[in-house]
C-alpha cells in the first residue's frame, strides 16, 4: 500500500520515538556499568572499607603475613557474594531454559491466565484489572514468580554455596603450594597463581580479577617474611564459616540476572517471551525475546484497558482481531499517532504499527479475558470513567463471553501445563 506524505511523516516520527524509548534505558545501563569500573569517586566509595583497613595496618606496622591475609580476605569477602550470584543465576537460567513455559507460548499464557483466575478467586479485583490493563507488567510478575520457585530451593542453593567456597579454598591451596616451590618473586607468583586458579575453579572472572587489586609495591618487600601457607590456612578457615543468605534484595537481583541470561541466549527457543505489548489492547507478544519476525499476539477485548466507543462511550467488547474483521477504527491520538484524521482504520494496523503483524484469527480464543470482560463491567466502568467522560457498560457482550465457566477454564489451563510436562 502506497503511503501518503502525511502518513509517511507520521510513521517516521513514531519510529523515531520507538527507537529512542528502546535505546535510552539500555544506554543508561551501559553508562552505569562503565562508571562502576572507571569513575574514580565511585570506585573509592566502593572500596572505602578495604582501603581504610589497609591504611590502618600500614600505620600500625602490621606484619606482612597478616596484612596480606587481611587484604586478600577482604577482597574475597567483597566479591564472593556477587560472584556467587552470577554463577548461581547461570545455573538457574540453564536449568529453566528447558522448561515448557519458556519454550511454548501457550504454556506461558496458561500460567498468566491461571494467575488471573487466582486473583478472581481471591476477589482481588484491583490487581486483576491492573494485570489485564498492562500485559508487560503482568507477564514480568508471573515470570518472576516462576523463577522465584527455583530460587526458593534452599537445599540446592546451600549445596552450590558449599561447592563455591570449596573451589576458592582449593585455589588458595594450589597458589600456596606453587609459591612455596618457587624461591624467587614469591608474592608475584602467589597473586598470579591465585588469580589463575580462582578463574579455573570458580569460573568467575570477577572474583579472579579482584585479586589484581593487591598492591605489588607494598608486599614485594615482605615476600621473604610472608608465610603463604599461613595466609592460605587462615583465609580458608574464615571463609568456611561464611553463609550466603538469600535476602529479598538478593532474590530480586537473582531474578534479574536469570532473566538477562535467558534473554541473551543464542538459542531462540531458550529465551522467554517478548515483552512488547500490542499498542491497542496491551497484551504481550507471543514470540520469543529478540525475535526477528513481526510481533504477534492473541488480542484481548479492548474494553479491558478502558477502550470505549466514541458515539455512546460504552466499553468495547471486540479484540483487535475482531475490529479488523468488523472494519472498526481506533483513536489516533490515544495511540500516540499524529494524523490529520482523528480515527484510523484497524485494517491499516501494520502501517501505523510497522513492528506488528495485522491482527488475524488462528491463535485461538482469549477465554479468561473474555470472562473478565463479561463479569467485571461495573468495575471497569468505575476504573476508566473520568470527570469529563462517563464510561458505560457494554450493551452487546457476546453470549459466549458470559457462558465461560471459571472452574472449567482452570481445568483447561492446568491440562495445558500438564500436557507439556512442566
pLDDT band for 78, please (50, 70, 90 cuts): confident
CA dihedral defined by 153, 155, 157, 163, rounded to 10 degrees? -160
What would the pLDDT profile of 230-262 be if each residue is shown by its tens digit? Answer: 889 999 999 999 988 888 898 999 999 999 999
What does the pLDDT average to over 362-370?
Answer: 91
pLDDT in tens, 26-58: 787 777 766 665 565 665 566 566 556 656 656
- Grid-cell match 508487560, residue found: 136
Q: What is the three-class DSSP state of 250?
A: helix
> Per the structure block, which three cell numbers stand in for 207?
572474583
Q: Tens digits of per-residue pLDDT, 200-215?
A: 999 889 898 888 777 6
| Proportion of the chain above pLDDT 90, given as a percent | 53
Is pTM beyond 0.85? Reply is no
Distance CA 60, CA 37 (A): 30
- Give the integer Cα–Cα distance in Å for 299 and 38: 46
Residues contacting residue 104 through CB under 8 Å, at least 6 positions apart: 420
**Per-chain mean pLDDT for the chain:** 86
How far is residue 246 CA from its own chain's centroid? 18
* Residue whose C-alpha cell is 600500614: 58
284 beta partners:
277
The whole-number average pLDDT for the span 319-334 is 88
**C-alpha span between 363 and 299 (Å, rounded):** 9
> Cα separation of 333 and 401, whole Å?
30
Amino acid at each position: 500500500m502506497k503511503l501518503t506524505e502525511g502518513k509517511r511523516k507520521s510513521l517516521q516520527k513514531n519510529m523515531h520515538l520507538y527507537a529512542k524509548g528502546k535505546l535510552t534505558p539500555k544506554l543508561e545501563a551501559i553508562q552505569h556499568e562503565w562508571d562502576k569500573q572507571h569513575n574514580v569517586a565511585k570506585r573509592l566509595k566502593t572500596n572505602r572499607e578495604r582501603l581504610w583497613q589497609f591504611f590502618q595496618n600500614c600505620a600500625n606496622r602490621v606484619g606482612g603475613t597478616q596484612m596480606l591475609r587481611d587484604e586478600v580476605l577482604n577482597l574475597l569477602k567483597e566479591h564472593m557474594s556477587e560472584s556467587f550470584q552470577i554463577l548461581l543465576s547461570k545455573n538457574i537460567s540453564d536449568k529453566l531454559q528447558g522448561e515448557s513455559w519458556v519454550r511454548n507460548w501457550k504454556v506461558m499464557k496458561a500460567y498468566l491466565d491461571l494467575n488471573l483466575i487466582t486473583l478472581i478467586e481471591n476477589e482481588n479485583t484491583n490487581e486483576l484489572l491492573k494485570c489485564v490493563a498492562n500485559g508487560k507488567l503482568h507477564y514480568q510478575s508471573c515470570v518472576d514468580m516462576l523463577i522465584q520457585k527455583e530460587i526458593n530451593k534452599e537445599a540446592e542453593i546451600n549445596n552450590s554455596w558449599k561447592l563455591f567456597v570449596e573451589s576458592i579454598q582449593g585455589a588458595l591451596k594450589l597458589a600456596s603450594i606453587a609459591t612455596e616451590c618457587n624461591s624467587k618473586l614469591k608474592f608475584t607468583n602467589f597473586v598470579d597463581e591465585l588469580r589463575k586458579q580462582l578463574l579455573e575453579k570458580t569460573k568467575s572472572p570477577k572474583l579472579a580479577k579482584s585479586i589484581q587489586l593487591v598492591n605489588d609495591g607494598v608486599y614485594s618487600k615482605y615476600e621473604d617474611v610472608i608465610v603463604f601457607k599461613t595466609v592460605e590456612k587462615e583465609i580458608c578457615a574464615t571463609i568456611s564459616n561464611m553463609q550466603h543468605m538469600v535476602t529479598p534484595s538478593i532474590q530480586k537481583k537473582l531474578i534479574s540476572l536469570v532473566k538477562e541470561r535467558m534473554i541473551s541466549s543464542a538459542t531462540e527457543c531458550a529465551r522467554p517471551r517478548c515483552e512488547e505489548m500490542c499498542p491497542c489492547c496491551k497484551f504481550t507478544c507471543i514470540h520469543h525475546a529478540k525475535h526477528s519476525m513481526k510481533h504477534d499476539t492473541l488480542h484481548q477485548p479492548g474494553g479491558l484497558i478502558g477502550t470505549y466507543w466514541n458515539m455512546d462511550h460504552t466499553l468495547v467488547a471486540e479484540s483487535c482481531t475482531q475490529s479488523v474483521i468488523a472494519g472498526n477504527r481506533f483513536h489516533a491520538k490515544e495511540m500516540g499517532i499524529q494524523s490529520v484524521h482523528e480515527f484510523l482504520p484497524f485494517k491499516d494496523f501494520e502501517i501505523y504499527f510497522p513492528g506488528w503483524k495485522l491482527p488475524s484469527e488462528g491463535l485461538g480464543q482469549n477465554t479468561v479475558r473474555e470472562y473478565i470482560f463479561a463479569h467485571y463491567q461495573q468495575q471497569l466502568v468505575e476504573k476508566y470513567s473520568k470527570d469529563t467522560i462517563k464510561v458505560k457498560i457494554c450493551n452487546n457482550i457476546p453470549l459466549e463471553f458470559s457462558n465461560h465457566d471459571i472452574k472449567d477454564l482452570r481445568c483447561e489451563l492446568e491440562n495445558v501445563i500438564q500436557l507439556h510436562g512442566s
